[in-house]
Structure 1
Amino acid sequence: MHHFTYGWLTPVLSYVMACVGSALGLRCTVRALAASTPGSRRNWLLTAALAIGSGIWTMHFVAMLGFGVSGSAIRYDVPLTVLSLLVAVLVVGAGVFTVGQGSSRVSYLLMGGLGTGVGVAAMHYIGMAALRLHGGVDYDPVLVGLSVLIAVAAATAGLWAALTVHGAAGATAASLVMGLAVSSMHYTGMAAVSIQLSPGRAVLSGATATEFIFPLTVVLGSFLFLTSAFVALSPTAQQRRESESAVQRLHDVEAHGVEMAP
């Protein structure tokens, strides 16, 4: 069993995807907290859930592109793989909405971090349940528990950063730390894996990584980068208020000018 079929390409790329998803999700959460209307807040939180959920899913399966088992081919059950993505988005979404809608920051932060962390862990282990190979997969319960704790701690720290860290430098640092923690959770979970091979000639069910995982990863990665560009270029609530105030002042000046004209 090995994780570096393509060298350091997949670990580094998976870390980048985790950082992009984390950065986008955290910025959307900040935008939600500053939103002036319930509808705008809801839309920002939905985008945050999609960003974090799809980011961690993409991180997991990019890393899994480098996973191999000597003596067995590897396939992925398509419905379970899709389910892992949906679970990530839904459970992470519940955690993000908890933080975004709560008025008591500490209690809602802890509940949101717990929900988001459980979503990260659930995505990972449902994704692992989709694995098909000639043999059985067992887990070290201690390392599994540690991976879940890392996921919860990472999610809580990331959401805390979204609430308290201001400025581009702080947001970048927060996303780098959260990306590192999510990657650490993944490889801790993979360290818990042991495989008992049962060599056979039967054709494995499911799709190969190239047939299914890679195309879906490209689609989600493109979504993350395009949405990141949109969020970066869209004005913040403060900028919109300043713009509206400037327009109003201009209208007032024009109105007074018309009144004073002979």
Structure 2
Amino acid sequence: MHYGGMAAMLMPAEIRYDLNIIIISVVIAVVAAGAALWMAFQMRGRWQKFGSALIMGVAVCGMHYTGMAAATYKMTFEAPVAGFAGALGGEYLGAASVVIAIMVLVLNVWVARWYRQRPVIPT
């Protein structure tokens, strides 16, 4: 998501990335997120959720700041091209996000209800 968002920015500059630092940022994200998920589902105790959330925060922040360290910007002094054919304008982006989020939530509820009401097949 981070690199996709950076590629979507419109600015009078080119972004170049250092591949080695990108790989490090992905490793940080995968290892820290894996540790957080392992902790969330395997450990029990009073501090389990807090520790898991803290480690996930480290994963997100570590990936973000390492990914930003990989980027260098070179000014082009050219006006950026404003999107591509079919791009969603800023005035409709919020409404589209809300509609898509509601559709995903409705689909999740529908699947959960279907899953609970399906017949159990004896084994």
Bin the TM-score by the shorter chain: 0.5 to 0.7
Say which of 118, 127, 139 aligns to 2:5.
127
In structure 2, the residue matched to 1:112 is: none
RMSD: 2.7
Query: May I ask how many residue pairs the two structures share in their alignment?
Result: 92
Q: Which has the larger radius of gyration?
A: 1
Q: Deviations over 1:134-182 (max 9, x none)?
A: 1211001111010010011022101211222223421111101211221
For 1:78-93, what aligned pairs fall within 5 Å after superposition? none
1:180 equivalent in structure 2:
58
Q: Deviations over 1:53-72 (max 9, x none)?
A: xxxxxxxxxxxxxxxxxxxx
Q: Which residue of structure 2 lines up, in the alignment, with residue 205 of structure 1?
A: 82
Partner Cα distance (1:152, 1:129) in 2? 21
- CA separation in 2, counterparts of 1:125 and 1:142? 15
Instruction: Give the structure with the larger helix fraction.
Output: 1
Higher relative contact order (CA 8 A, sep 6+): 2
Q: Determine whether 1:144 maps to 2:27.
A: no
Whether the 8 Å contact between 1:165 and 1:171 is mirrored in structure 2 is no
Report the Cα distance in structure 1 between the residues aligned to 2:81 and 2:57, rounded to whole angstroms. Answer: 33
Q: After the TM superposition, which residues 155-174 of structure 1 pair with which residues of structure 2 at under 5 Å, given as runs?
A: 155-174=33-52
**How far did 1:191 drift?**
0.6
Aligned-pair identity in percent equals 42
Does the 8 Å CA contact 2:33/2:56 hold for their aligned counterparts?
yes
* Runs of at least 4 residues off by over 3 Å: none
Structure 2: any 5+ residue segments left out of the alignment?
84-89, 103-123
For structure 1, the 5+ residue unaligned runs are 1-122, 224-262
Residue type at the aligned position of 1:205: A
Is contact 1:158-1:174 (8 Å) kept?
yes
Residue 203 (structure 1) shift: 5.8
Letter in 1 for 2:44: H
Amino acid at match of 1:150: I
